[in-house]
């Protein structure tokens, strides 16, 4: 049977505010010892009163606008009641029926076509404490009078409790794990462009839960959905969804029913496992938060925020095409990451070329970024903004290449060394002995040697086999350790053999 995959994603993003959502505690606790960024409000002591973080509201409205949402002017906060050890108050102050943003969308490219994926809502709430689950050591088990060393215990760190958290709920418009991945990448890019969140999934500042169900192709009925949790990378989301598609297919194919439940992704095993079924589903007993007044967002405020919105990924891509004459494809790749786009523009600025040479230079820089640079970044798994090669250093390398001081082969070697060591290009060219072989006599001598040593290839070339030239050029390049210009070498060989 053919099935259609239906996926909807819920994303929680931590906001980059200075203080927490409802109290004055610093939200910059990443490097702080546990339980040092706390006060009676975020500890949930009785009788305390929360206040609303204006910057968090502004960030949420910015996001709602960037995601093409309708911004609600009359909003309020609601209490979501549930008991869990990471929730100090026993309730979370969230938004229920009056979120800041509703009915928006973002676009992805699926099979070369633009596809619009709906956003149901964007709302603001608070984060919970961080639990660390541990197995007890024998000594700890003894100290705590527990019976076995397997007896687990949990550590609570309240620093994160009360940090502003923005929730973005997507429509079930996603039809494949690949579309889900693209949705997340696009959403994260938008948040990074807005500067409202780091969007770092591995660090937990950008978290995703996925709802997934399958239905027979061509039908409209919605089947029981499974919520998948515990995915902390884009790759994990993709793998977990792929796994669920296959698992649910098998269940339907054997004429059983998929159970509506929450499942957790186990990264090491590459499987999802049942966590809780529908019968245990929560009833949150939402009611308006009595400690906070309704929040009326003035139209003028929304307009002012709209005015201040920074350039977004698609606008920047279009501008790159316009300003630097890059292809839409290259411009899309560069602007897909704010850090990469910033780096590109920093290089262009650093190069300081006249207008007439701008597009040529921009293309050259783009080729390096999207070729060698991305390759090395991927291999070493780092972001371009933390790379040891700064824009100025890359531009210096390109200058050496342009002035013919190094060959393009040598430039790649130097680039790799720069990436590893952060040393300037000129210094590495000298220490690695990679200065271009500009002595015409020396080069001619090497070409002569190679021709004598390879009579077979010479014969092939003379017999009309054009490809033989590539082999000969390669041999000369090897003899010069990549210091010659391959095109010059090719011309020299041709001239020799023609004579
Ligand atoms: Zn606090
Ligand atoms: Mn939530």
For 474-489, what is each residue's pLDDT tens digit?
888 888 777 777 878 8
Q: What is the mean pLDDT of the chain?
A: 89
The whole-number pLDDT of residue 88 equals 86
Return all residues near 436 (Cβ < 8 A) that are at least 6 apart: 404, 405, 406, 407, 410, 483, 484, 485
Question: Which ligand minimizes its atom distance to the CA of 127?
Answer: 2
CB 469 within 8 A of CB 487: no
The vertex-251 CA angle with 246 and 255, nearest 5°, equals 140
Question: 440-498 — its CATH code?
Answer: 1.10.10.410
Question: Which ligand minimizes its atom distance to the CA of 14?
Answer: 2
For 178, phi then psi, to 5°, come to -65, -40
The whole-number pLDDT of residue 146 equals 61
Question: Which ligand minimizes its atom distance to the CA of 208?
Answer: 2
Cα(497)–Cα(271) distance, rounded to whole angstroms?
63
Span 140-158, pLDDT tens digits: 767 766 655 455 778 899 9
Of the two residues 426 and 58, the one the predictor is more confident about is 58
pLDDT band, very low/low/confident/very high, at 281 (cuts 50, 70, 90): low
Q: Which two tokens stand for residue 378?
A: 């991927």
The whole-number pLDDT of residue 108 equals 92
Span 409-456, pLDDT tens digits: 888 888 888 888 888 887 877 787 777 776 777 788 888 888 888 888
* Least confident among 197-211, 253-267, 270-284: 270-284
Calculate how far, in angstroms, residue 24's C-alpha sits from the geometric centre of ligand 1: 6
Of the two residues 277 and 237, the one the predictor is more confident about is 237
The vertex-494 CA angle with 490 and 496, nearest 5°, equals 120
Question: Which ligand minimizes its atom distance to the CA of 42?
Answer: 1
Question: Which ligand minimizes its atom distance to the CA of 123?
Answer: 2
The whole-number pLDDT of residue 383 equals 85
Calculate how far, in angstroms, residue 161's C-alpha sits from the geometric centre of ligand 2: 13
The whole-number pLDDT of residue 436 equals 72
pLDDT band, very low/low/confident/very high, at 37 (cuts 50, 70, 90): very high
The whole-number pLDDT of residue 278 equals 59
As residues whose CB is below 5 A from the ion ligand 2, the structure lists 167
CB 7 within 8 A of CB 210: yes
Whether the per-residue pLDDT at 171 is higher than 60: the answer is yes
Mean pLDDT confidence for 333-342? 92
Return all residues near 409 (Cβ < 8 A) that are at least 6 apart: 477, 482, 483, 486
Calculate how far, in angstroms, residue 306's C-alpha sits from the geometric centre of ligand 2: 25
Calculate how far, in angstroms, residue 102's C-alpha sits from the geometric centre of ligand 1: 29
- In the chain, % of residues over pLDDT 90: 49
Mean pLDDT confidence for 108-121? 89
Report the DSSP pairing between strands 261-266 and 3-14: unpaired
Whether the per-residue pLDDT at 327 is higher than 70: the answer is yes
The whole-number pLDDT of residue 302 equals 95
- CATH 1.10.10.410 residue ranges of the chain are 440-498
Calculate how far, in angstroms, residue 94's C-alpha sits from the geometric centre of ligand 2: 7
Question: Which ligand minimizes its atom distance to the CA of 126?
Answer: 2
Cα(217)–Cα(175) distance, rounded to whole angstroms?
12
Calculate how far, in angstroms, residue 53's C-alpha sits from the geometric centre of ligand 1: 12
The whole-number pLDDT of residue 254 equals 87
Calculate how far, in angstroms, residue 265's C-alpha sits from the geometric centre of ligand 2: 19
Of the two residues 65 and 449, the one the predictor is more confident about is 65
Calculate how far, in angstroms, residue 32's C-alpha sits from the geometric centre of ligand 2: 25
pLDDT band, very low/low/confident/very high, at 87 (cuts 50, 70, 90): very high
Question: Which ligand minimizes its atom distance to the CA of 45?
Answer: 1
Return all residues near 495 (Cβ < 8 A) that are at least 6 apart: none
Mean pLDDT confidence for 81-94? 92
Calculate how far, in angstroms, residue 298's C-alpha sits from the geometric centre of ligand 2: 25
Cα(415)–Cα(437) distance, rounded to whole angstroms?
19
Calculate how far, in angstroms, residue 294's C-alpha sits from the geometric centre of ligand 2: 19
The whole-number pLDDT of residue 95 equals 96
Give the number of residues written for the chain: 499
Mean pLDDT confidence for 353-377? 89
The whole-number pLDDT of residue 466 equals 81
Residue 137 carries which DSSP code?
P
Calculate how far, in angstroms, residue 317's C-alpha sits from the geometric centre of ligand 1: 41
Return all residues near 386 (Cβ < 8 A) that are at least 6 apart: none
Mean pLDDT confidence for 148-173? 87
CB 68 within 8 A of CB 105: yes
Kindly tell me the burial class for residue 364, based on how many C-beta atoms sit within 10 Å of its own C-beta (0-12, 13-18, 19 or more). middle
- In the chain, % of residues over pLDDT 70: 96
**Could you identify the residue written with the tokens 């004055």?**
24
Nearest one of 65, 77, 130 to 102, comparing CA atoms = 65
Whether the per-residue pLDDT at 113 is higher than 90: the answer is no
Question: Which ligand minimizes its atom distance to the CA of 165?
Answer: 2
Mean pLDDT confidence for 353-360? 85
Calculate how far, in angstroms, residue 220's C-alpha sits from the geometric centre of ligand 2: 28
Of the two residues 353 and 25, the one the predictor is more confident about is 25
The whole-number pLDDT of residue 449 equals 86
Mean pLDDT confidence for 15-28? 96
Calculate how far, in angstroms, residue 102's C-alpha sits from the geometric centre of ligand 2: 15
323 three-state secondary structure: helix
pLDDT band, very low/low/confident/very high, at 320 (cuts 50, 70, 90): very high
- Rg (Cα) of the chain, in Å, rounded? 30
């Amino acid at each position: 049977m053919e099935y259609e995959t239906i996926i909807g994603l819920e994303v929680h993003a931590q906001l980059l505010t200075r203080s927490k959502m409802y109290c004055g505690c610093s939200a910059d606790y990443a490097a702080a010892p546990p339980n040092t960024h706390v006060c009676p409000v975020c500890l949930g002591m009785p009788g305390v009163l929360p206040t609303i973080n204006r910057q968090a509201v502004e960030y949420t409205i910015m996001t709602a606008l960037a995601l093409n949402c309708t911004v609600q002017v009359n909003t309020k906060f609601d209490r979501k009641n549930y008991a869990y050890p990471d929730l100090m108050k026993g309730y979370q102050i969230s938004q229920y029926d009056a979120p800041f943003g509703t009915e928006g969308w973002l676009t992805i490219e699926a099979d070369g076509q633009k596809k619009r994926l709906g956003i149901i809502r964007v709302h603001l709430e608070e984060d919970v404490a961080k639990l660390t689950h541990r197995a007890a050591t024998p000594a700890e088990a003894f100290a705590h009078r527990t019976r076995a060393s397997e007896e687990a215990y949990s550590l609570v760190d309240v620093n994160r409790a009360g940090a502003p958290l923005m929730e973005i709920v997507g429509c079930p418009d996603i039809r494949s794990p690949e579309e889900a991945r693209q949705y997340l990448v696009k959403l994260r890019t938008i948040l990074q462009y807005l500067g409202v969140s780091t969007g770092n999934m591995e660090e937990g500042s950008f978290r995703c839960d996925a709802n997934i169900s399958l239905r027979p192709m061509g039908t409209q009925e919605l089947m029981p959905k499974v919520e998948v949790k515990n995915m902390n990378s884009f790759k994990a989301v993709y793998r977990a969804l792929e796994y669920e598609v296959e698992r649910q297919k098998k269940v339907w194919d054997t004429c059983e029913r998929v159970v509506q439940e929450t499942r957790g992704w186990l990264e090491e095993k590459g499987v999802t496992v049942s966590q809780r079924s529908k019968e245990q589903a929560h009833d949150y007993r939402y009611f308006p938060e009595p400690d906070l007044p309704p929040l009326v967002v003035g139209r003028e405020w929304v307009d002012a925020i709209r005015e201040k919105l920074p350039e977004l990924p698609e606008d920047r891509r279009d501008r790159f095409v316009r300003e630097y004459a890059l292809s839409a494809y290259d411009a899309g790749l560069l602007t897909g990451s704010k850090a990469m786009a910033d780096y590109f523009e920093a290089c262009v600025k650093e190069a300081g070329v006249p207008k007439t040479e701008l597009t040529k230079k921009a293309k050259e820089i783009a080729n390096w970024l999207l070729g060698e640079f991305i390759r090395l970044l991927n291999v070493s798994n780092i972001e371009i903004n933390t790379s040891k090669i700064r824009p100025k250093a890359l531009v210096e390398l390109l200058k050496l290449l342009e002035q013919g001081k190094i060959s393009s082969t040598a430039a790649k070697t130097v680039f790799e060394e720069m990436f590893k060591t952060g040393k300037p290009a000129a210094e590495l060219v000298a220490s690695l002995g990679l200065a271009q072989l500009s002595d015409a006599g020396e080069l001619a001598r090497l070409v002569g040697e190679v021709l004598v040593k390879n009579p077979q290839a010479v014969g092939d070339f003379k017999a009309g086999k054009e490809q033989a030239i590539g082999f000969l050029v390669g041999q000369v390049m090897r003899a010069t350790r990549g210091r010659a210009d391959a095109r010059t070498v090719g011309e020299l060989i041709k001239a020799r053999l023609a004579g």
